[in-house]
């Protein structure tokens, strides 16, 4: 199921933050930040609330979602630290955001999130691709 959630069509060459509107970037980052904080706090319901409808369709309950994240994305589930990296606006309502994570194992990871603006104006996470980081720089 991890492969379904990790949208593989995410380019790893990301543009500078200037390409996306500041308000949209801040809103997308706030969504990711809130979800990561919910994971750290073991608040599955809150973490699940930041998932987009396409993710909720694949993982229809908080438990199935949390099991997928716990088993497939340990660095995202329990990051030691994280910082936002590069961002790219794919369309006026779609953003790709790089997040640099130090996982529970102390190793560096790169998570690339895709987010879509919802009809109510909020951004929700449509996917996350995770890989071991080969560099500490952004």
Terminal Cα distance for the chain, rounded: 29
pTM here?
0.83
What pLDDT sits at residue 62?
A: 98
What pLDDT sits at residue 53?
A: 98
- Look at residues 113, 106, 136 and name the one whose alpha carbon lies nearest to residue 52: 113
CATH code at 2-132: 3.10.450.50
* Alpha-carbon radius of gyration of the chain: 14
Low-confidence ranges of the chain (pLDDT < 50): 1-19, 137-138
Q: What are the residue ranges of helices labelled H in 6-126? A: 22-40, 44-49, 53-58, 62-72, 74-77
What pLDDT sits at residue 136?
A: 53
Give the bridge partners for 125, in sequence order.
51, 115
In this predicted model, what pLDDT tens digit does every residue of 83-117 receive, in sequence order?
999 999 999 899 999 999 999 999 999 999 999 99
What pLDDT sits at residue 7?
A: 37
What pLDDT sits at residue 133?
A: 80
Structure tokens at 64: 């199935």
What pLDDT sits at residue 96?
A: 97
What pLDDT sits at residue 20?
A: 53
Per-residue buried b or exposed e for 86-104, using 16+ beta carbons within 10 Å of the residue's own CB: bbbbbeeebbbbbbbbbbe
What pLDDT sits at residue 135?
A: 61
């Amino acid at each position: 199921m991890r492969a379904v959630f990790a949208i593989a069509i995410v380019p790893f060459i990301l543009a500078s933050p200037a390409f996306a509107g500041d308000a949209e970037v801040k809103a997308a980052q706030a969504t990711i930040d809130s979800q990561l904080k919910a994971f750290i706090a073991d608040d599955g319901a809150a973490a699940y609330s930041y998932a987009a409808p396409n993710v909720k369709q694949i993982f229809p309950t908080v438990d199935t979602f949390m099991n997928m994240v716990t088993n497939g994305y340990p660095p995202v589930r329990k990051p030691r630290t994280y910082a936002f990296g590069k961002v790219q606006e794919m369309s006026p309502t779609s953003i790709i955001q790089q997040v640099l994570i130090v996982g529970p194992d102390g190793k560096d990871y790169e998570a690339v999130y895709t987010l879509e603006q919802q009809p109510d104006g909020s951004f929700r996470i449509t996917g996350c691709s995770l890989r071991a980081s080969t560099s500490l720089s952004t």
